[in-house]
Amino acid sequence: MPESRGHKGGKGRAKRTEVPIPGKRRLDTISGPFAIEVERAGTPQKINQALSRLKTQTNKKKILRVPQNDMDMAIEQVREKNMHVIVTNLVETRRRKP
């Protein structure tokens, strides 16, 4: 399925998009020192899957972009997994570290 315009916009101007990672999975974007994952679904299962994709990047700063309404749920999921991830909304006006 092709990506929506909002999903592509959430990635920003990254040079490398859809980076292959182990397990036949793909990370949304690597942009310099940042690994960026955009999750628009808004369910705990999908956010957990996005966090597991981010966890494969050991030498990158990790950013999870979710819709504004889902930021609190994403922060809870990050705390449960005990990860160091910056959670932002899709347009990057809000930014929270758990």
Answer yes or no: is 5 within a domain.
yes
Answer yes or no: is 23 within a domain.
no
Evaluated on CA atoms 38, 43, 46, 47, the torsion sign reads positive
pTM above 0.75, yes or no: yes
The range of the structural domain enclosing residue 44 comes to 1-11+40-98
Answer yes or no: is pLDDT of 1 > 60: no
Answer yes or no: is 51 within a domain.
yes
pLDDT digit string (tens) for 71-93? Answer: 999 999 999 999 999 999 988 88
pLDDT digit string (tens) for 21-70? Answer: 889 998 888 888 999 999 988 899 999 999 999 999 999 999 999 999 99
Burial label, 98 (beta-carbon count in 10 A; 0-12, 13-18, 19+): middle
